[in-house]
Structure 1
Amino acid sequence: MGGMEREAYLRSVQLLRESVPSFAEYPFSLPVIREMDRLALHPKVTYIVGENGMGKSTMLEGIAVAWGFNPEGGSLNFTFSTYASHSELHRHLRLARGIRKPRDGFFFRAESYYNLASSIEELDREGGGPSIIDSYGGRSLHEQSHGESFFATFMNRFGGGGLYVMDEPEAALSPTRQLSMLARIHELVRQGSQFIISTHSPILMAYPDAVIYQLGGSGIEEVALEETEPFRVTRQFLNNRSPMLEELFTEE
């Protein structure tokens, strides 16, 4: 695993199994949580991939909340809450922190990004300090498309030397924007950042100096990019479009 010699801000995450109330209850009943022990994190980029329903978002949220992020996203000083729907997982995780302390951090999740944008506007209306929106690109996040506003946040607000946790950031991004995002990730890594990203995008999971964990029915396994489901399915479709479409559209 190249690049592991650099000290990570977050070295590993461990499930404190003896403190789990019951493995029959959600989220501990999810196979990946049930099988989870200690997950070593890459000091540059760690990907968490897998089908919907496997627990990617739950795991990412647990890590983010255990670190101190608001469950709905934002930087460490965002405390707004529109609903308390996050799981109890964070209470049962032990984070092994590195010696280096990050000077920046952000938890991005597509599903609650709208609430984050509203919170920024509200804080700026209340005033009392420099305009927060300026560090997000200066333009109201609500006046841009979801993709534009998130991309503006990623390009302007992420400052380097940070721990960045991102849940399916490709949700609103075109393939071209995903490539730009990959370049920006590289730039931020070179500025001493660490990323933990859950994604379905074969483009976004292509960062070379990284580790990929695939979540499945039997737990968590470390895989190469070419072994991930999104990469295999996309390649298969692009190489065999006509026969695959024919098979998909054939009536039973």
Structure 2
Amino acid sequence: MPTQEPPPARPVRRVERVPGAPVDPGAWPDSVPAVAQLLREGLELPAGVTFLVGANGTGKSTVVEAVAEVLGVHPEGGSAAHLAGADRGRGADRSGLADRLRAVRSPGRRGPAFFLRAETAHRFYTYLEEAAHPGEGPPPPHPLHRLSHGEGFTEVLLRSRWVREAPVLLLDEPESALSFENQLLLGAALAGAAAEGRQVLCATHSPLLTALPGAHVLQLDGHGLAPVAWEELELVREWRFFLDAPERYWRGVL
């Protein structure tokens, strides 16, 4: 019996601008430093888990969404198979960045990437219920709709075959729906995916997730994006200062 070919350690090696694609430094999203750097230099995707960290507006979700679209995934989430017949555009909030990018892939077996974003998770559940019951009349609610937001998110992330089988897993702020314990479970699942030769790209504000052993962390800020040690992350320093003296922060705010 032939030996099954192992998955490539880096299904996607790099995302880069299509040669000759236009760049407008004065317009969004090209005006965002991290996006400008991506268009100028490309983005290397290492094996294993990579976190994108930064304040609101630094381009984390824009970059993850663009990578998802480049890999054939609808910007609202799912895999290439999900929402395949739907309108590919999200409307006015779609950045259009993916139209100017391409993926440099490793040779070897491929499968569909999977993208899950907290803000559109329930629309993804609705798609699943409609796909399972095509035809006239409202479909019965999908079981995921009967769960809390965090429970449904956890069910998809930890138990769904789409996540288990995807060679590339893309996540946008998954911690917003998860408790402390479930963030730990998610981190363990991401470590397991990395051990199986799969890649993860996750935008997050979570100091817990970014502490995952062996993970790569890129900080996005006013200078662009660069690798940063966990201890040096701005969000880690802020949380440490806050937990050390929360009343000091509240005095400044109130």
Q: TM-score range by the shorter chain?
A: 0.7 to 0.9
Q: Distance in 1 between matches of 2:102 and 2:229?
A: 27
Residue 23 of structure 1, CA deviation: 2.0
Q: Distance in 2 between matches of 1:20 and 1:49?
A: 27
Contact residue 8 and residue 100 of structure 1 kept, 8 A: no
Q: Note if 1:24 corresponds to 2:26.
A: yes
Gaps of 5+ in 2: 1-7, 136-141
Report the CA distance shift for 1:98/1:40 in structure 2 as closer, same or farther (over 3 A): same
Report the CA distance shift for 1:144/1:246 in structure 2 as closer, same or farther (over 3 A): same
TM-score for the superposition, normalised by structure 2? 0.85
Question: 2:192 — aligned with what?
Answer: 187
CA RMSD of aligned residues (A): 2.2
Within 5 Å, give how 1:1-252 maps onto structure 2.
7-16=9-18, 18-36=20-38, 37-78=41-82, 79=84, 80-81=86-87, 83-84=90-91, 85-126=93-134, 140-157=143-160, 158-160=163-165, 162-249=167-254
After superposition, give the CA deviation of every residue in 1:23-52 in whole Å (9 maximum; x if it has no partner). Answer: 222211212212331221121011111111
Question: What is the number of equivalent residue pairs in this alignment?
Answer: 235
Gaps of 5+ in 1: 1-5, 128-138
Report the CA distance shift for 1:107/1:161 in structure 2 as closer, same or farther (over 3 A): closer
Q: Distance in 2 between matches of 1:109 and 1:68?
A: 16
Percent identity (aligned): 33
Contact residue 114 and residue 166 of structure 2 kept, 8 A: no
After superposition, give the CA deviation of every residue in 1:192-214 in whole Å (9 maximum; x if it has no partner). Answer: 22100000001111222121111
Report the CA distance shift for 1:243/1:22 in structure 2 as closer, same or farther (over 3 A): closer
Q: Distance in 1 between matches of 2:208 and 2:166?
A: 24
Q: Distance in 1 between matches of 2:205 and 2:103?
A: 25
Contact residue 175 and residue 204 of structure 2 kept, 8 A: yes
Contact residue 61 and residue 86 of structure 1 kept, 8 A: no
Contact residue 7 and residue 99 of structure 1 kept, 8 A: no
Contact residue 71 and residue 113 of structure 2 kept, 8 A: no
TM-score for the superposition, normalised by structure 1? 0.85
